[in-house]
Structure 1
Amino acid sequence: MTEWSHIRIWAAIAGIGICTYVIRLSFVYLFGRIDSVPPRVEQTLRYVPAAVLAALVVPAVVTVQPTLGETVLDARLVAGSIATTVAWRTENVFYTIVVGMATLWVIRFGPSLIG
């Protein structure tokens, strides 16, 4: 338990929500006022989807204390490797997600559907 009252907890949640909203609104407002995005910024922003996807996926694929058998045979690692290959060949985030998830589902649920 915490020593904070319910009001302080809800005030903290509301404060964090307002701060998040203001940060996001500032970018919308900033880019709404700029006639054109500088080429260097536009080039940098192209890497944001890949960086976000990697930040979400890598912690889920990499285990904390893996053994060799768990690492090599883990469905997440196999699906992640195939998705990485698709990403490298196609450079398309949508195809990467679809192929990675389909591979994971086939590995995990395929045997139970066949038998």
Structure 2
Amino acid sequence: MTNSALLPLLSAIALGTFLLRFSFIFLYGRMTLPQWIHRSMRFVPAAVLSALIFPALVIQNGAPVLSIGNHRLVAGLLALAVAWKTKNLLATTLVGLGIFWLLTYM
């Protein structure tokens, strides 16, 4: 693909992505949605965060690694325990990073 064809393609993709996302934001504030949709929207941030974090903890070099040798998984599980027990974001982050760095550099 030549450079002259690349710019219009990237512009069309960017515009399409923007319009798709903007439509949901624009319509959400102007439509009356059922109550069950409003209740379910509370779970979207947790679901998205989990979908982003889980592969980073479990997959290494393209394959799942579920062992004690996976430092990211061990640190993530310990951070999860701290988050569940304390419900403190700073403590969770510090424990997760601290355990990961400790296991990585030992």
**TM value normalised by structure 1:** 0.67
Once the two structures are TM-superposed, the CA of residue 73 in structure 1 deviates from its matched residue by: 2.7
Q: Tell me whether 1:61 sits opposite 2:57 in the alignment.
A: yes
Q: Tell me whether 1:27 sits opposite 2:11 in the alignment.
A: no
* Match of residue 17 from structure 1: 14
Superposed, 1:91-106 pairs within 5 Å as 94=89, 98=93, 99-106=95-102
* Match of residue 45 from structure 2: 49
Change beyond 3 A, Cα 1:41–1:90: farther
Q: 1:54 is aligned with what amino acid?
A: S
Equivalent of 2:5 in 8, 13, 23: 8
Instruction: Report the identity percentage.
Output: 35
List per-residue Cα deviations over 1:77-103 (Å, max 9, x = no partner). Answer: 1111112224444667x4586243344
Q: 1:49 is aligned with what amino acid?
A: P
Q: CA RMSD in A?
A: 2.8
Query: Structure 1: which 5+ residue stretches go unaligned?
Result: none
* Match of residue 85 from structure 1: 81
**TM value normalised by structure 2:** 0.72
| Count of aligned positions | 102
CA distance in 2, matches of 1:62, 1:15: 35
